[in-house]
Amino acid sequence: VQLQASGGGLVQPGGYLRLSCVVSRSPFTMYSMGWFRQTPGQEREFVAGINRSGDSTYYADSVKDRFTISRDNAKNTVYLQMNNLKPEDTAVYYCAGDRAIILSSIRASGEYLYWGQGTQVTVSS
């Protein structure tokens, strides 16, 4: 299974970006998906997660009400819409997926078997 993340870039504070992650393996609906981020010297942290059908979503407190995770199962793609970006959102963002996640553990990076390559998001004026 390959995950291909894209959409990162440089944006000013208050701006927005949309990250995308395409999953190579079908059926995509078997995979719960998550977005994580990491800065140098820090552990990878949970940002957002979504269940297989897309009707349940989960967010870190730091991004709630600013970020939205969604999925298009017809396109094997999960998205992360990031609004009102702040300098502290600067990080490498990774998408992750797994077929066997218990939703109570969706925030745990160790629960995910498949990872994308990461895309850099830089928020700076």
So what's the pLDDT on residue 101? Answer: 87
Distances (CA, A) of 115 to 14, 36, 64, 82, 95: 28, 10, 23, 20, 6
1 pLDDT exceeds 90? Answer: no
- Which has more confidence, 103 or 60? 60
Q: Assess whether the previous peptide bond of 87 is cis (omega < 30° from 0).
A: no
Residue 92 has a pLDDT of 98
- How confident is the model over 16-70, as pLDDT tens digits? 999 999 999 888 888 999 999 999 999 999 999 999 999 999 999 999 999 999 9
State the pLDDT confidence band at 100, using cuts at 50, 70 and 90: confident
Sign of CA dihedral 118, 114, 47, 27: positive
What pLDDT was estimated at residue 29?
86
Q: Residue 124: is its pLDDT beyond 90?
A: yes
The predicted-structure confidence for 68-85, as pLDDT tens digits, reads as follows 999 999 999 999 999 999
